[in-house]
């Protein structure tokens, strides 16, 4: 059954390669430190991008903040975020330091992003396990580059793609924050980790789980 699931997962991944189109976004520090109910809009941000960061809908944000049109949003504007929505769903840690440049659910070049893309500082940036788990895949994958898939408790899986090197092998048990490899080398804009969290085969918004 596990081998069948892995086969299905890999077939799905091979048909849905992560996008290489990157956009300016907010930093990991900004996102991971959001524990209060007040948020100040940054230049260039949209209601959609903010709603994705918190795992809520645009309609919820507009209703709670008495916004009639998304065009009303301005840099520096104060938004109220529902307390229940700021609670993290899991205890996964950030796999690499850097900036989130593509969000979960974004439609980029007619492809829906099933994870997040994190732009690391450089190609020497270590990619670390977001949680303790078992390595069930560590190899190259068409459209994804070198990829690692970890299996965790409670039906969760994490996926790390666009790596320059894999230093773990299939079957290994890795601890939380144990190094898995390095982000792919190249120009700074290419030093991007594609990261996913899945509940069984269903993609989840990583920002709801990362601490």
3-state secondary structure of 139: strand
pLDDT at 32: 35
pLDDT at 45: 85
| Phi, psi torsion values for 11, nearest 5 degrees | -65, -40
pLDDT tens for each residue of 44-65? 888 888 887 777 778 888 888 8
Structural fold of domain 89-208: Glucose Permease (Domain IIA) (2.70.70)
CATH 3.10.350.10 domain residues, the chain: 38-81
Residue length, the chain? 211
What phi-psi label fits residue 156: left (phi over 0), alpha (psi between -120 and 50 degrees) or beta?
Answer: beta
Burial 127-150 (b: 16+ CB within 10 A, else e): bbbbbebebbbbeebeebebbbbb
Burial 179-194 (b: 16+ CB within 10 A, else e): ebbbbbeeeeebbbbb
> In this structure, what DSSP letter does residue 29 have?
H
3-state secondary structure of 183: strand
Report mean pLDDT in 10-residue bins for the chain, 211 residues: 57 59 40 52 85 77 85 86 63 91 79 88 84 96 92 95 94 97 75 92 86 84
pLDDT at 94: 95
pLDDT at 102: 86
Ranges assigned E (strand) in the chain: 38-40, 78-80, 98-102, 107-108, 111-112, 116-120, 126-128, 133-141, 145-151, 156-166, 173-174, 179-183, 192-199, 202-204
Q: Is the pTM of this model over 0.75?
A: no
CATH 2.70.70.10 domain residues, the chain: 89-208
Report whether 108 contacts 120 (CB < 8 A).
no
How far apart are the two ends of the chain, measured CA to CA in Å? 31
pLDDT at 170: 96
Q: Which residue(s) pair with 120 in the sheet?
A: 98
CATH 3.10.350.10 holds for 38-81: yes
pLDDT at 15: 55
Report whether 163 contacts 154 (CB < 8 A).
no
């Amino acid at each position: 059954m596990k081998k069948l699931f892995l086969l299905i997962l890999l077939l799905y991944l091979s048909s849905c390669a992560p996008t290489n189109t990157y956009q300016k976004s907010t930093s990991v520090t900004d996102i991971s430190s959001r524990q209060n109910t007040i948020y100040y809009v940054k230049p260039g941000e949209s209601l959609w991008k903010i709603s994705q960061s918190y795992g809520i809908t645009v309609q919820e944000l507009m209703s709670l903040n008495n916004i009639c049109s998304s065009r009303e949003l301005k840099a520096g504007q104060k938004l109220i975020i529902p307390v229940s929505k700021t609670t993290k769903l899991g205890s996964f840690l950030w796999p690499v330091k850097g900036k989130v440049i593509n969000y979960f659910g974004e439609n980029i070049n007619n492809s829906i992003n099933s994870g997040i893309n994190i732009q690391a500082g450089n190609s020497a940036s270590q990619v670390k396990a977001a949680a303790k788990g078992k390595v069930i895949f560590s190899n190259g994958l068409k459209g994804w580059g070198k990829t690692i898939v970890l299996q965790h408790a409670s039906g969760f899986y994490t996926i790390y793609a666009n790596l320059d090197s894999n230093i773990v092998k299939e079957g290994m048990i890795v601890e939380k924050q144990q190094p898995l490899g390095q982000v792919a080398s190249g120009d700074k804009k290419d030093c991007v980790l594609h990261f996913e969290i899945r509940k069984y085969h269903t993609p989840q918004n990583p920002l709801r789980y990362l601490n």
